[in-house]
A and B are shown apart, each in its own frame.
Chain A
Amino acid sequence: MKPRTVDKIATSLIVFFALFIVAILVGLLGYILFRGLSHISWDFLTSAPQKIRAGGGVGPQLFNSLFLLVLTLIITVPLGLGAGIFMAEYARPGKLTGFIRLIVEVLSSFPSIVVGLFGLLLIVNYFDLGFSMISGALALTVFNLPLMVRITEQAFRSVPKQQKEAGFALGLSKWKIVTTVLFPVALPTIITGTILSAGRVFGEAAALMFTAGMSSPRLDFTNWNPLSPSSPLNPFRPAETLAVHIWKVNSEGLAPDAVEIAAGASAVLVITVLLFNLGARFFGRFIYRKLTASKRMN
Chain B
Amino acid sequence: MKSKKSRLEKHHIEDLVGRSYMAFCVLLLIVIIISMVYFVASKGLSTFITGGVSVGEFFFGTKWAPEADTPSFGAFPFISGSFLVTLLAALIASPLSICAALFMTEIVPGWGKKLLQPVIELLAGIPSVVYGFIGLSVIVPFLRDTFPGQGIGVAAGALVLSVMILPTITSVAADALAALPQNLKESSFALGATRWQTISRVILPTTMPSIMTGVVLGMARAFGEALAVQMVIGNAPFVPKSLFESASTLTSVITLSMGNTTMGSSYNNALWSMALVLMLMTFAFVGLVRLLERRNKI
A83 touches which of B25, B95, B123, B194 (Cβ 8 Å): B25
Given A110-B224, A112-B226, check contact A142 B258 (CB 8 Å).
Answer: no
A282 at the interface (CB under 8 A from B): no
Min distance, Cβ B128 to any Cβ of chain A, angstroms: 7
User: Number of residue pairs across A and B with beta carbons under 8 Å?
Assistant: 242
Q: Does B22 contact A90, Cβ atoms closer than 8 Å?
A: yes
Q: Which of A10-18, A53-61, A220-228, A290-298 forms part of the interface with chain B?
A: A10-18
A70 at the interface (CB under 8 A from B): no
Q: B11 touching A176 by the CB < 8 A rule?
A: yes
Q: How many residues of A contact B (CB 8 A)?
A: 88
Please report the C-alpha to C-alpha distance between residue A7 and residue B200 in the assembled complex, in whole angstroms.
10
Confirm or deny: A286 has a beta carbon within 8 angstroms of a beta carbon on chain B.
no
Question: Which residues on B sit within 8 Å (CB–CB) of A106?
Answer: 33, 282-283, 286
Task: Tell me if A48 is interfacial: C-beta within 8 Å of chain B.
Answer: no
Assembled-state Cα–Cα distance A35/B134 (Å): 10
The verdict on A205 contacting B11 (CB below 8 Å), with A11-B195, A18-B100 known, is no
B6 sits at the interface (CB 8 A):
no
Of A18, A110, A263, most buried by chain B (CB within 10 Å of CB) is: A18
Q: Which residues of A contact B215 (CB under 8 A)?
A: none
Given the contacts A145-B29, A206-B226, A250-B133, A277 and B121 also touching, CB distance less than 8 Å: yes
Q: Is the CB of B115 within 8 A of A113?
A: no
Distance A243 CA – B125 CA, assembled complex (angstroms): 13
By a CB distance below 8 angstroms, the chain A residues around B115 are 22
Q: CB-defined interface of A98-134 with B at 8 Å, one 1/0 digit per residue?
A: 0010111111011111110110111001000000000
Interface residues of B (CB under 8 A from A): 11-12, 14-15, 18-19, 21-26, 28-30, 32-33, 35-36, 39-40, 43, 95-96, 99-100, 102-104, 107, 112, 115-116, 119-123, 125-130, 132-134, 136-138, 163, 166, 170, 193-197, 199-200, 217, 220, 223-227, 230-231, 251, 254-255, 258-259, 263, 272, 275, 278-279, 282-283, 285-286, 289
**A residues neighboring B (CB under 8 Å):** 3-4, 6-7, 10-11, 13-15, 17-18, 20-22, 24-25, 28-29, 31-32, 35, 79-83, 85-87, 90, 100, 102-107, 109-115, 117-118, 120-122, 125, 142, 145-146, 149, 172-176, 178-179, 196, 199-200, 202-206, 209-210, 214, 243-244, 246-247, 250-251, 259, 262-263, 266, 269-270, 273-274, 276-277
CB pairs A–B below 8 angstroms (14 shown): A14-B107, A24-B166, A110-B224, A110-B279, A110-B282, A111-B223, A112-B226, A173-B11, A175-B18, A203-B126, A206-B226, A206-B251, A206-B255, A269-B129
